[in-house]
């Protein structure tokens, strides 16, 4: 556990130094936070809180942020020739990988939650109502859990992509395609179904109820994340990494 925290410490230190440098990423993060945390919520108003579709927005946002960080963290180590030295240290393979994944997940989750909270404040200031505009407790919890799981899944997928990429840029490009496939794929597949099939699916989902659907999605994502992270741990081995 101590070694995992050591790796997280290093990852955050690197990331902090990058964020503090406006030229190297701080400015783009600031602009992103402003648009997603203030502009979008203010324009959407109460819908930004009440719409059911918006639940999927935070996991998507977190996954996007994770993809950028994990590519830099894994493919970047190789590109910058720091990986072999890290592997020659006393840190175990699993501590290195888990540390990198946790750091990326914390970053993605943190960015999404911070945007969510800033957005809540922005909506409530811009659209004053008799009662505060807030998420329900279950909705908030499901959003956080889904965001964490989406981040975890993306981090696991990111490890695989990054291990096969020789540069950060290459990994990020592959990641962009993976995110589009993972998010747009199911929607396009659903739209490709006949009208009757889509209606039947919608009716069944409606019959299941919101809570069961959310539980199923959470369960499915958790299982998928566990499988992907497990496979990533099996793949992340010194002997292979040194020779890749």
Partner 1 sequence: MSDATSYAIRAEGVTRDFGPVRALDALSLEVPKGIVFGFLGPNGAGKTTAIRIFLGLIDPTAGRAEVLGYDTRREGAAIRTRCGALLEHPGLYERLTAADNLDFYGRAWHLPRRERRERIRELLTRFGLWERRDDPVGRWSRGMKQKLAVARAVLHRPALVFLDEPTSGLDPVATVGLREDLAALAAHEGVTVFLTTHNLNEAERLCAQVGVIRNGRLLAVGSPDTLRAGRDTGRVDIAARGVTEDVLALLRACSDVRSVETGNGRLSLSLANGASVAPIVTLLVQQNVEIEEVRKARATLEDAFLDLMGLDTGENGGRL
The binding site for partner 1 (CB under 8 A) comprises 2-3, 6, 9-10, 13-14, 17-18, 80-82, 84-92, 238-239, 242-243
Nearer to partner 1 by C-beta: 43 or 82? 82
For residue 72, give the nearest of 83, 62, 61 by alpha carbon: 83
Nearer to partner 1 by C-beta: 131 or 234? 234
Nearest approach, Cβ of 156 to partner 1 (angstroms)?
24
Is there a contact between 81 and 209 (Cβ–Cβ < 8 Å)?
A: no
Q: Is 129 left (phi over 0), alpha (psi -120 to 50) or beta?
A: beta
Nearer to partner 1 by C-beta: 21 or 197? 21
3-state SS assignment for residue 122: helix
Nearer to partner 1 by C-beta: 3 or 47? 3
For residue 182, give the nearest of 92, 24, 12, 59 by alpha carbon: 59
Nearest approach, Cβ of 77 to partner 1 (angstroms)?
9
Nearest approach, Cβ of 236 to partner 1 (angstroms)?
14
Nearest approach, Cβ of 23 to partner 1 (angstroms)?
12
The two tokens of residue 231 are: 């496979």
């Amino acid at each position: 556990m101590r070694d995992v925290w050591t790796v997280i410490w290093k990852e955050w230190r690197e990331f902090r130094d990058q964020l503090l440098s406006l030229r190297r990423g701080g400015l783009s993060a600031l602009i992103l936070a402003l648009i997603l945390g203030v502009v979008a919520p203010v324009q959407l108003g109460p819908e930004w809180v009440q719409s059911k579709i918006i639940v999927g927005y935070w996991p998507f946002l977190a996954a996007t942020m994770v993809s950028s960080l994990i590519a830099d963290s894994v493919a970047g180590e190789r590109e910058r020739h720091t990986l072999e030295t890290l592997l020659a240290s006393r840190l175990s393979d699993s501590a290195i990988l888990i540390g990198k994944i946790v750091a990326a997940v914390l970053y993605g989750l943190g960015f999404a939650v911070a945007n969510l909270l800033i957005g809540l404040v922005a909506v409530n200031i811009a659209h004053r109502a008799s009662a505060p505009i807030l998420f329900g407790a279950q909705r908030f919890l499901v959003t956080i859990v889904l965001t964490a799981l989406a981040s975890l899944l993306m981090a696991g997928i990111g490890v695989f992509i990054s291990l096969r990429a020789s540069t950060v840029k290459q990994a990020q490009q592959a990641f962009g395609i993976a995110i589009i496939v993972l998010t747009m794929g199911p929607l396009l597949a659903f739209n490709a179904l006949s009208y009757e099939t889509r209606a039947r699916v919608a009716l069944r989902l409606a019959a299941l109820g919101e809570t069961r659907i959310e539980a199923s999605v959470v369960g499915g994502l958790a299982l998928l994340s566990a499988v992907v992270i497990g496979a990533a741990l099996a793949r992340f081995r010194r002997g292979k990494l040194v020779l890749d």
